[in-house]
Amino acid sequence: MSDTLVSEVRPLTPWQTVGPFFHYALPWEGGENLLREGVLGERIIIRGRVLDAMDQPVSDAMVEIWQASSSGRYDHPEDNRTEVPADPAFIGFGRCPTNEDGVFTFHTVRPGPVPGPGNTEQAPHIAISLFGRGLLRRLVTRLYFPESEANAHDPILDLVGPERADTLIAKRDEESGGVPTYWFDIHIQGENETVFFDV
Amino acid sequence: MPMRPPVTMPCTTPFASLPVRSVAVKTVRSKKEKTMDVLQYSPQALSEPPSFAPGYVSTVARSPRKPLVRIPQTLTEVTGPADFGERLLRAPVHDMTREGKGEPLGERIIVSGHVLDDRGHPVPNTVVEVWQCNSAGRYVHKKDQHDAPLDPNFTGQGRVVTDEEGRYRFVTIKPGAYPWRNHYNAWRPAHIHFSLFGPCFATRLITQMYFPGDPLIDIDPIACAVPSEARNRMVSRFDIDTTENEWALGYVYDIVLRGRNATPMENPQ
Ligand SMILES: [Fe+2]
């Protein structure tokens, strides 16, 4: 890799907390539902709680997800792989504030695998951003699926290591209305602290 | 009252008619299937506030204590929500003073600026979401118990899109300071909350814009979680050229998101 000329780099605008009063501005009707008419793939439900150091529910947090389509393609100009079909009915972005019990819910499709660094393939996963009162900056984590054999070869889970990787694996929950449902608690702090990424 | 002059808005395009973002493809692929190395966006700045800042009491039980796991950006992180057509987010609001039947109380202001990346390139067609309290320091939120009046003509939420040069602009009312229960006699400096996406997942930013000369900034635990030299980047500046004669004061607030090298990695072949 050659060095590139770096012109003067401007300092970044710092993060600040989203605060407790974002509800009337950021969430939108249907923001937790990524399903559109004609969407391809297997419908799933993602549900979980945001918990603090004392395992108390965090009722003023907001969760955003970003994921590939069922074929493993991102709805973004940078993912221009022609060999992977795009799904025009699927955007892959959702936003959900937590409720009084700290619970968030998303209706989406099971993502396909996507390429990783080098010659690797990433197991199906969902990227998660967590915001909330008391969170000065976003916390970034990922959700992986428990039955996915590809987890064993996922380059990011490999970096996390076996001791904590299970904090990123959702649990299969009871199906609601025949739709496979996954439960994913985010422990901000404490014994079961979720792995958060510097990315 | 003087006649309201016509307002020139750089950002009047409804989300639905936005052009698809033209992003230069910077992905380097090998001939082997499924391989995709991506150019990295610059790392998080050292001046970012820590998750644990005990002066801001709510962080104590809401901050991870194990170290963050450093990972390379993959295709997941260098892509992100880009098509903000009518399918995502809510309708644009450029003028937060026109959401009610009448004019809200308070000092009318114009806030504008550029959204740039850290190499100085404009970030075009990106959504900027803003929200704030009214001029008395009260949010339209059921959990805001501050004993200050609501304004029936002010909600305090807006949404604009940057133009091709990365500019945004909206009209609002200068927010008031408000008390919070973090410590005795705690008051938040006047601020407007900002939420931006930028080109991808890695460039997401939520921040707060402050006003110049506010004595509360340097005693506010949230602003002070950021070191002082970086704190100044969150303070807007008064600008007489943005100010409109007999109508509204103008403030300029430029926002810098993470960028990446414009030159792709050289292919060794
Ligand atoms: Fe606020």
Looking at residue B90, which CATH number applies to its domain?
Answer: 2.60.130.10
AA identity, residue A152: A
H or E segment and range at residue B77 = helix B75-78
What CA–CA distance (Å, rounded) separates A199 from A196?
A: 9
Is residue A58 within 8 A of residue A52, CB to CB? The reply is yes
Nearest to B230 among A11, A127, A156 (CB): A11
SS3 annotation, chain A: CCCCCCCCCCCCCCCCCCCCCCCCCCCCCCCCECCCCCCCCCEEEEEEEEECCCCCECCCEEEEEEECCCCCCCCCCCCCCCCCCCCCCCCCEEEEECCCCCEEEEEEECCCCEECCCCCEECCEEEEEEEECCCCCCEEEEEECCCCHHHHHCHHHHHHCCCCHHHHECEEEEEECCEEEEECCEECCCCCCCCCEEC
Q: pLDDT of A120-148, one tens digit each?
A: 999 999 999 999 999 999 999 999 999 99
A·B CB contacts under 8 A: 269
Quick check: is B154 in a domain? yes
Quick check: is B12 in a domain? no
Quick check: is B8 in a domain? no
Catalytic, B191? Answer yes
Quick check: is B38 in a domain? no
Q: How far is the CA of B220 from the centre of ligand 1 (A)?
A: 12
H or E segment and range at residue B69 = strand B69-70
Q: How far is the CA of B132 from the centre of ligand 1 (A)?
A: 6
- Give pLDDT, residue A105: 98
Which residues 15-44 of A are in CB contact (within 8 Å) with B? 15-26, 28-29, 31, 36
Is residue B119 within 8 A of residue B257, CB to CB? The reply is no
Quick check: is B210 in a domain? yes
Q: What average pLDDT does chain A have?
A: 94
Quick check: is B143 in a domain? yes
Exactly one of B41, B56, B138, B139 is catalytic; name it: B139
Q: Do B204 and A129 touch (CB under 8 A)?
A: yes
- Give pLDDT, residue B22: 35
Q: Which residues of B touch A18 (CB under 8 A)?
A: 193, 195, 206
Interface with A, mutate which of B20, B33, B48, B74 (most A CBs under 10 A): B74
Quick check: is B9 in a domain? no
Nearest to A199 among B64, B77, B90 (CB): B77
Domains of chain A: 14-187 (2.60.130.10)
What CA–CA distance (Å, rounded) separates A138 from B258?
A: 14
Q: Is the pLDDT of residue A157 over 70?
A: yes
CA distances from B78 to B51, B62, B198 (A): 23, 27, 10
Quick check: is B27 in a domain? no
Q: Do B119 and A159 touch (CB under 8 A)?
A: no
Q: How far is the CA of B138 from the centre of ligand 1 (A)?
A: 9
Catalytic, B178? Answer yes
Low-confidence ranges of chain B (pLDDT < 70): 1-36, 85-87, 261-269
AA identity, residue B66: K
Q: Tell me the mean pLDDT in the region A37-53.
A: 97
CA distances from B132 to A52, A185, B129, B193 (A): 26, 30, 11, 6
Q: Do B71 and A116 touch (CB under 8 A)?
A: no
Domain that includes residue B175, residue range: 45-257
Q: Tell me the mean pLDDT in the region A65-86.
A: 96
Is residue A148 within 8 A of residue A121, CB to CB? The reply is no
Count of domains observed in chain B: 1
- Give pLDDT, residue B10: 37
Q: Is the pLDDT of residue A7 over 60?
A: no
Interface with A, mutate which of B48, B62, B145 (most A CBs under 10 A): B62
AA identity, residue B87: R
- Give pLDDT, residue B35: 52
Q: Tell me the mean pLDDT in the region A195-199.
A: 97
CA distances from B224 to A127, A136, B61, B66, B260 (A): 30, 11, 19, 23, 28
